[in-house]
Structure 1
């Protein structure tokens, strides 16, 4: 009798999801757990026989997930949510990291995939609206992210405009008027940075406030280190500000580190808000006010759409915006009022 993933999970004392995560190279697994699962795979002689499964059913039972960078917590946590959603449909997820490199992103969608995966969830950062023609593919695909709109495939996206507006409205309600923005991409017309900065500016203008362009600080990749560098730059400028809107949580965490080291009180002197609601936001000091973009909803919806297309559904393609939620925490409310 063939060894199954459940047999491996039982032997290793873990869940089938954990076995799937190990086999797909998911990074956020304890090394001891990974070692135990791999030992069980070796001991039982488990093999995922893709070719045999494909010959029997015409499918591999595997879907692809192409993301820019798993070291960014948002994409790591998105991958986890996609794996969980896929398992509900009996699917395994093969993850590919593109590094936000345009050539690698093109390779992902142009590569013949028929004998490897049954469909692809695709989150590009290097491509843009001019590349929309590249998405015409015989294999089912669901697009994620904010680089390409009105494409010939299903698209599940974040409500960047309403989510950013909610964060800015929250800061304004606290009496903050000089709100610095970390993570802008000067010259960008389409993309998450442009959309979120545009929503920030429109919200200020809607309140009759001047948009302080001098407080818009660039950051290329949205990492903790670049958030720290951007915060150092604005402090060095001597410009006055009483709040920070970081365009993602990792930028915010880098900024918090610098502010704390410099003796700036959060939120008394400067309130800080982010975007993504990564897990770390609940455990930082102070805990981080942030916008939850509906990551679980995005993963579940994208997988369901992909499964429908893989089953032959040829109805009109959909553009779905996930619901967001603002979590207000200590970085804007202080320690007495988090909720």
Structure 2
């Protein structure tokens, strides 16, 4: 037997409108009434008709999540968090790769899926401020990631400079003094690589340690192969680092591979810190010390910000776009501490 909203209302002794308010998460319901309605829902096994709800609201119930790469473990793990949280709120997530290409990012910003989705969560790599200024779609947009923009949209990003300083400080506290940075990029200064490089420089300068260009290695991308090649170039240059802070965990895993091939031990000869806390890093020969962005908090903040713009009655949005900074944590492991 299909349980209706009216059945729940009769069981809870409230109006059907009150049940609807509880199911839709509206705030103006007393805690006691909310508990009574939820108990009736649980007892009867009521399941809301999400399709009908979205149609009544003039929505599809679908939000898009556009990420640079789906084969990058960090983005895959983040996507899973977004999908799980959105599902609990009655939304379906359409997952799209942009491959980090500006033309693809611009397509999404200008509403390539405008008739299909209610809103967009976008993690851009190459997008510029002028692209956002020319946005034609009316669907709400939330930005993810560490590229900085001067644009009227909610933006969720951890503090990259602070995170890089934390990673570098960890190495300094272990007595390392020649700490290299792997993963620098040429070009625009607002990219995450520049922010992490800046944090590395600031922390080394504060400690009076070497922060010369000879300890900085650029990469074309952020894969394991990029890390392996950058580490090889750094060693061939004679820089002789005793520690390496890497742009991300994939670069760090590649760097550790090269160190092993050159007969150098991690962490005895060279300590290594990554960034992202992907699962692969926990299973390296020396489990990888890393900066762990709070992925669940990032995902929830993004979905909540988007839904607030879609449904102001549910969670009134702020008057102006917000810059939301979820937390991060240093996770020390064997690549800096050694085996216990």
Superposition TM-score, scaled by structure 2 size: 0.81
State the structure with more CA Rg.
2
Kindly indicate whether residue 337 of structure 2 is the aligned counterpart of residue 333 of structure 1: yes
- Counterpart CA distance in 1 for 2:139 and 2:98 is 19
- Counterpart CA distance in 1 for 2:292 and 2:135 is 28
Give the 5 Å matches for 1:140-179: 140-179=140-179
1:57-98 CA-partner distances (Å, limit 9, x unpaired): 411111100011111111111111111111120111101101
Corresponding residue pairs, total:
290
- Counterpart CA distance in 2 for 1:335 and 1:94 is 42
Structure 2 stretches lacking a partner, 5+ long = 3-49
1:151-190 CA-partner distances (Å, limit 9, x unpaired): 2011110121111111000000111111111110023311
1:96-130 CA-partner distances (Å, limit 9, x unpaired): 10111111110111125443111110111011344
- Counterpart CA distance in 2 for 1:322 and 1:149 is 17
2:320 corresponding residue in structure 1: 316
Preserved CA contact (<8 Å) 1:135 1:151: no
- Counterpart CA distance in 1 for 2:332 and 2:118 is 40
Matched residue SS, 1:96? strand
Coordinate RMSD, CA, aligned:
2.1
- Counterpart CA distance in 2 for 1:51 and 1:89 is 13
Kindly indicate whether residue 210 of structure 2 is the aligned counterpart of residue 210 of structure 1: yes
Matched residue SS, 2:120? strand
Matched residue SS, 1:121? strand
Offset of residue 238 of structure 1:
2.1
Offset of residue 284 of structure 1:
1.3
Preserved CA contact (<8 Å) 2:178 2:209: no
Offset of residue 150 of structure 1:
3.6
Superposition TM-score, scaled by structure 1 size: 0.81
1:187 corresponding residue in structure 2: 187
- Counterpart CA distance in 2 for 1:121 and 1:177 is 40
2:99 corresponding residue in structure 1: 99
Matched residue SS, 2:81? helix
- Counterpart CA distance in 1 for 2:323 and 2:134 is 18
